[in-house]
Structure 1
Amino acid sequence: MMNSKIFIKLALSFSESIEQPHFEKTSFRVNKKIFATLDFVNLRASLKLSEIDQSVFCDFSPEHIYPAKGAWGKQGWTIFEINHLKPEMVQDALTLSYCNIAPQKLSDKYKM
């Protein structure tokens, strides 16, 4: 299963991604924009997905993947309880999130 060390390694594997504090969480950014956050206490990541991708991931494991509360969830921010998920699934979601936020010149090499 996924853990915080693996998540961080995956999030920082994308071109020009950086790690920065974000309130009580850690954020992962590209071009100064957040594509993921990690809550170390609850082992939950929040990723920015398209509406369709959010629906697909949530349908796969609704007890461990679900939209963020309120307007954030409607904007595509999706919660992943990473300690219940396989690294491959989280990697796929991270890639989509990165590609949604990164400039096209960076995201093109990761698009599925």
Structure 2
Amino acid sequence: MDASDLRRLALGLPETEEKSHFGKADFRVKNRIFATLPGDDTGVVKLTPEEQQMVVASEPGVFTPVKGGWGLKGWSQVRLAEADQTTLESALRMAWRNAAPAGLRKRVEGDAG
């Protein structure tokens, strides 16, 4: 995977917009950031600490916690070249759910069911 893949997959999620955060691309749902693209080979996703522990344990070559306090909150770095599409899609969906308002999540998950 690469930056264009992350962009394509993130923008495919409901009501996602691409904006900029400190000069880097970010992806938002209802103006809440759920992923960023700090470089061509790296993405960052907003996971819960529990989700972060799970993905780091299962895919240590792909995921690492962001350094500092943001990493303690679940923000996780993704090595895009090491990720396959299924893994990246799953991480982006988790991150999207963590940022999306409850009403939107309920409406989207109800549509999917």
TM norm. shorter chain > 0.5: yes
Give the conservation status (yes or no) of the 8 Å contact 2:97–2:105: yes
Question: Does 1:44 pair with 2:42?
Answer: yes
Match among 75, 93, 100 for residue 98 of structure 2: 100
Q: Structure 1, residues 66-108: CA drift from partner, whole Å, max 9, x if none?
A: 1101100011100001111101101001000000000122223
Question: Does 1:84 pair with 2:82?
Answer: yes
Identical counterparts, % of pairs: 31
- Number of aligned residue pairs: give it: 109
Q: Match for 1:81: what amino acid?
A: R
Gaps of 5+ in 2: none
Give secondary structure in 1 for the equivalent of 2:15.
Answer: coil
Question: Does 1:25 pair with 2:24?
Answer: yes
Q: Structure 1, residues 5-51: CA drift from partner, whole Å, max 9, x if none?
A: 2211110111111001112420001111100001234x111111111
1:12 match: 11
The CA distance in 1 between the partners of 2:85 and 2:103, in whole Å, is 26
Give secondary structure in 1 for the equivalent of 2:14.
Answer: coil
Question: Does 1:67 pair with 2:57?
Answer: no
Normalising by structure 1, what TM-score?
Answer: 0.89
* Deviation beyond 6 Å, 4+ runs, structure 1: none
Q: Which structure shows the bigger proportion of residues in helix conformation?
A: 2
Superposed CA RMSD: 1.5
Give the conservation status (yes or no) of the 8 Å contact 1:98–1:107: no
Q: Match for 1:107: what amino acid?
A: R
